[in-house]
Amino acid sequence: MFDYFKFAGPLVRLFDPECAHGLTVKALKSGLVPPQPRVAAPSLEVALWGLRFPNPVGLAAGFDKNAEVPDSMLRQGFGFVEIGSVTPRPQPGNPKPRMFRLVEDRAVINRMGFNNEGVEAVAARLEARARIGIVGANLGKNKDTEDAAADYEKGAARLGPLADYMVINVSSPNTPGLRALQGRDQLEGLVGRTRAALDKATEGAKRPPLLLKIAPDLNDEDLSDIAAVALGGALDGLIVSNTTIARPDSLRSAHAKETGGLSGAPLLDAATAVLRRMYTLTEGRLPLVGVGGIASGADAYAKIKAGASLVQVYSALVYQGTGLVTRINRELIDLLKRDGFASIADAVGADHRVK
């Protein structure tokens, strides 16, 4: 099959990153981006939360903030797509420039600041879609909202009936004070109120699972507190992890010192280590979604063996295009077969079972 990205990728990268992203979304909306071949195999299917994922590779939040192309991205071979982050009211985000390619490092730094069109615009698009696959909604708070939990309540109430799963995002480094909400006392209240709003909005219907997305920069005490909250019953899973504020010494790009969240290849090991720790702290009782630095089937498999039931990619698409999704799934089939696993579920947490 013709690899359009070999032709389009270098052209798109002639533009600044945010402009290039906007052009990509427009191309997807117009149907100019051809679908990728879907890799179908019983070993790739994942049954979780009453949902059946055709494969474990999802699109992370941030790519489709306004739910403009979830179905187009599903046609690129993803097993699921996460839209957002969405705030109750529209907001422009931080001043530009606010996104930077670190080409030498196969990484990205962004300080977008939850720029989005608001929950009503997103809800209208989700209501209009054909629902051809699994789409989750990632919730954020408006920058000037003092009662943070109120914003998550509003997002859950409006989008809960329209999404297949919901995510509380309190781990972006680009909204002042947001990461402080990961502390145990604040988190318990926020999660409890969001869960109550979600239950009320979906009363009499199937309630979508509620997940929490955490940062990779937390210490062990923070992680223990989050695990305790997660096992308290109000959460159905964790997404590990968001971008990092750390700057590894290995970075070579001239943009390495830009403020914001770092994603891509340099995040792989750190995010996987946090994932592995959270699997231990939650005793394997809570589904985890592994994110951060995935650029191959081997990277995705490392997350799965560390404890992830699903994985998500985003930054690697900047450098490899959506054909990466097909390659990851094909490589996962081979890796599962090599190690004697019949399914993704059999491989989840395998590293923890090694004696």
The overall longest dimension of the chain from CA atoms, in Å, is: 54
Q: Angle between the 17-30 and 4-12 helix axes, to the nearest 10 degrees? A: 140
250 included as an active-site residue = no
Place of tokens 């996987």: 272
Q: Is the pLDDT of residue 8 over 90?
A: no
pLDDT at 315 (0 to 100): 97
The pLDDT-based confidence of 7 (bands split at 50, 70, 90) is low
User: If pLDDT is split at 50, 70 and 90, which confidence band does 4 have?
Assistant: low
pLDDT reading at 179 higher than 90: no
* pLDDT the model gives residue 355: 57
Q: Determine the Cα–Cα distance for residues 265 and 105; give it in Å rounded to an integer.
A: 7
E-strand stretches of the chain: 46-48, 51-53, 57-59, 80-86, 99-102, 107-110, 135-139, 165-169, 210-214, 237-240, 261-264, 288-291, 308-313
Tens-digit pLDDT profile for residues 45-62 = 999 999 999 999 999 999
Nearest to 254 by CA among 99, 100, 98, 28: 100
Report the domain count for the chain: 1
Quick one: pLDDT at residue 178? 83
CATH assignment at residue 168:
3.20.20.70
The residue written with tokens 């979780």 in the block is 48
Counting Cβ atoms within 10 Å, is residue 92 exposed (0-12), middle (13-18) or buried (19+)? exposed
What is the C-alpha radius of gyration for the chain, rounded to an integer number of angstroms? 19
The band of 1, judged by pLDDT with boundaries at 50, 70 and 90, is very low
What tokens does 180 get? 């402080």
For residue 208, the 8-state DSSP code is P
**Are 44 and 333 a contacting pair, CB within 8 Å?**
yes
Q: What is the mean pLDDT of residues 240-261?
A: 97
Whether the pLDDT of residue 163 is over 80: the answer is yes
Instruction: Please give the share of the chain, as a percent, with pLDDT higher than 70.
Output: 97
Please state, in angstroms and rounded to a whole number, the distance separating the CA atoms of residues 112 and 21: 13
Range of the domain at 239: 4-353
pLDDT tens-digit map of 56-103? 999 999 999 999 999 999 999 999 999 999 999 999 999 999 999 999
Going by pLDDT thresholds of 50, 70 and 90, the confidence category of residue 218 is very high
Structure confidence at residue 14 (pLDDT): 84
Exactly one of 85, 171, 172, 263 is catalytic; name it: 172
What confidence tens digit (pLDDT) does each residue in 282-326 have? 999 999 999 999 999 999 999 999 999 999 999 999 999 999 999
